[in-house]
């Protein structure tokens, strides 16, 4: 029994070892050298007796990975294009990380006496050089784009800003006059837009109307590259103007519609005793008084009152080039505020009310809202449509 357990454990161990070796070999054969390196390092770290298979697997995967990366760097360098320095730097960074992983294991010797050989390079210097050249390429490219932006190419300024952000994020946090260039790119790339409200209805707008229209928070309109102004500032060079042209205000009269109707019903209204010819109450066979239902017709008069009033706003949102006055885009927005109230009361006998009438009974007539209050409410309600018209317009860069 013990011999059987020994042989069984030996077979399991051999199977696991063979599976592990095949896994490392599988990674290497399909060119995933770094995965093979990770696999072998995990098998070797912290082990006093290091298996030759893993030592040799690490040696082979490392050599092939280094050869592949050096060949790729040579090919990219020979191409001579500045934009390729970012790819070269990524390869160098990968090589630095790879050597850093295996250095704690060196010198590496298996339990069978096999000594692994690793050709370690001065990849730190390579990485510094490619990082400097990649950063210089981005910096120079950003300078060229900012130069174009000085002549009105706003999109070039935004591209320059992104290039400088990448330089800061990937290569150097502090680099030459990067911060000054970032500020200049931001300034040249930002669009300044004046927002105005114009009343062209011939009506006097209520106090607070314009305030509600202009009550936008910065997050409502401002985006990364668009800044809105609600007052013209002589120190700010404006690019566009958005004009909210209120073209029509329609206020309906206060309407009251009344309807009156009568509900009638025949109901039981108590009992009447049955009398004989002598005026005595008749008895049944059990000696009980004989009585019959007393029926009565009842009535209720119902008064229904329906109140309504509406306010409708119609406006155009015009996008205008501030410097030339050219109309670039226009969109119509509108909204309606509706006041409605239903009241129903009755007089007479409540028992006469139909089920429908009972459901409608309730409420009282309300005072109609003032025109000014409805218009201010309409100004608040039209703002989402106004924001949507501004955001959807492609005429403002």
Domain ranges of the chain: 24-121, 131-189, 190-267+296-397
Mean residue pLDDT across the chain = 86
On the question of pLDDT at 9 being above 70, the answer is no
pLDDT digit string, tens, across residues 245-262: 988 889 999 999 999 989
Q: What is the mean pLDDT of residues 228-244?
A: 86
Q: Report which of residues 277 and 371 the model is more confident about.
A: 371
Query: What pLDDT score was predicted for residue 318?
Result: 93
- Residue 395 and residue 397: Cα distance in Å, rounded? 6
Q: How far apart are CA 276 and CA 61, in angstroms?
A: 124
Q: Is the pTM of this model over 0.75?
A: no
How does residue 22 score in pLDDT terms, banded at 50, 70 and 90? Answer: low
C-alpha to C-alpha distance for 147 and 131, rounded to whole angstroms: 24
For range 352-371, the mean pLDDT: 87
Distance CA 154, CA 143 (A): 14
| 275 vs 117, higher pLDDT | 117
Contact 200, 247 (CB under 8 A): yes
Give the count of alpha carbons within 13 A of 374, CB side only. 22
Q: Strands 226-229 and 191-199, how do they pair? A: parallel
How far is the C-alpha of 298 from the C-alpha of 348, rounded, in Å? 8
Give 106-162 pLDDT, tens digit per residue. 898 888 889 989 999 999 999 999 999 999 999 999 999 999 999 989 999 999 999
* Structure confidence at residue 16 (pLDDT): 43
319 SS3 class: strand
pLDDT band at 364 (very low <50, low <70, confident <90, very high): confident
H helix and E strand count, the chain: 11, 6
DSSP alpha helices (H): ranges in 193-333? 209-213, 218-221
Nearest to 330 by CA among 275, 383, 396: 396
Question: Could you tell me which of 106, 102, 154 has the C-alpha nearest to residue 123?
Answer: 102
Percentage of the chain surpassing pLDDT 70?
92
Query: What are the two backbone dihedrals, phi and then psi, of residue 262, each rounded to the nearest 5 degrees?
Result: -120, 130
Give domain 190-267+296-397's CATH architecture. 2-Layer Sandwich (3.30)
Spatial contact of 39 and 24, defined as CB atoms under 8 Å apart: yes
pLDDT in tens, 199-233: 888 888 888 777 777 776 656 666 789 888 888 87
Quick one: what percent of the chain has pLDDT higher than 90? 45
Residue 124 has what pLDDT? Answer: 93
Residue 220 CA to residue 2 CA, distance in Å, equals 79
Total length of the chain: 397
């Amino acid at each position: 029994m013990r011999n059987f357990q020994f042989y069984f454990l030996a077979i399991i161990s051999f199977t696991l070892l063979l599976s592990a070796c095949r896994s490392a070999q599988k990674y290497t054969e399909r060119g995933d050298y770094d995965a093979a390196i990770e696999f072998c390092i995990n098998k070797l770290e912290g082990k006093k007796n290091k298996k030759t298979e893993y030592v040799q697997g690490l040696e082979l995967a490392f050599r092939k990975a280094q050869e592949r990366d050096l060949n790729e760097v040579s090919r990219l360098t020979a191409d001579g294009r500045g934009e390729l320095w970012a790819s070269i730097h990524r390869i160098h960074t990968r090589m630095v990380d790879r050597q850093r992983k295996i250095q704690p294991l060196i010198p590496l010797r298996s339990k069978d006496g096999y000594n692994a050989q690793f050709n370690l390079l001065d990849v730190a210097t390579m990485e510094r050089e490619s990082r400097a050249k990649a950063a210089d390429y981005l910096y120079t490219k950003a300078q060229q784009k900012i130069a174009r932006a000085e002549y009105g190419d706003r999109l070039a300024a935004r591209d320059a800003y992104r290039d400088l952000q990448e330089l800061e994020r990937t290569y150097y946090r502090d680099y030459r006059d990067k911060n000054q260039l970032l500020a200049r790119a931001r300034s040249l790339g930002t669009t300044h837009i004046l927002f105005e409200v114009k009343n062209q209805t011939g009506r006097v707008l209520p106090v607070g109307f314009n305030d509600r229209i202009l009550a936008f928070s910065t997050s409502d309109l401002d985006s990364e590259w668009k800044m809105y102004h609600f007052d013209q500032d002589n120190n700010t060079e404006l690019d566009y103007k958005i004009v909210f042209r209120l073209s029509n205000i329609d206020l309906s009269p206060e309407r009251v519609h009344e309807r009156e109707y009568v509900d009638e019903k025949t109901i039981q209204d108590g009992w009447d005793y049955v009398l004989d010819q002598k005026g005595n109450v008749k008895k049944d066979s059990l000696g009980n008084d004989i009585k019959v239902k007393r029926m009565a017709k009842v009535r209720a008069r119902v008064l229904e009152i329906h109140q309504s009033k509406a306010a409708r706003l119609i406006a155009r949102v015009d996008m205008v080039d501030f410097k030339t006055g050219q109309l670039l885009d226009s969109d119509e927005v509108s909204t309606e505020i509706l006041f409605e109230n239903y009241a129903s009361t009755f007089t007479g006998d409540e028992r006469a009310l139909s089920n429908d009438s009972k459901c409608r009974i309730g409420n009282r007539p309300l005072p109609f809202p003032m025109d000014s209050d409805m218009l201010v409410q309409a100004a608040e309600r039209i703002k989402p449509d106004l924001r949507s018209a501004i955001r959807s317009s492609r005429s403002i860069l």
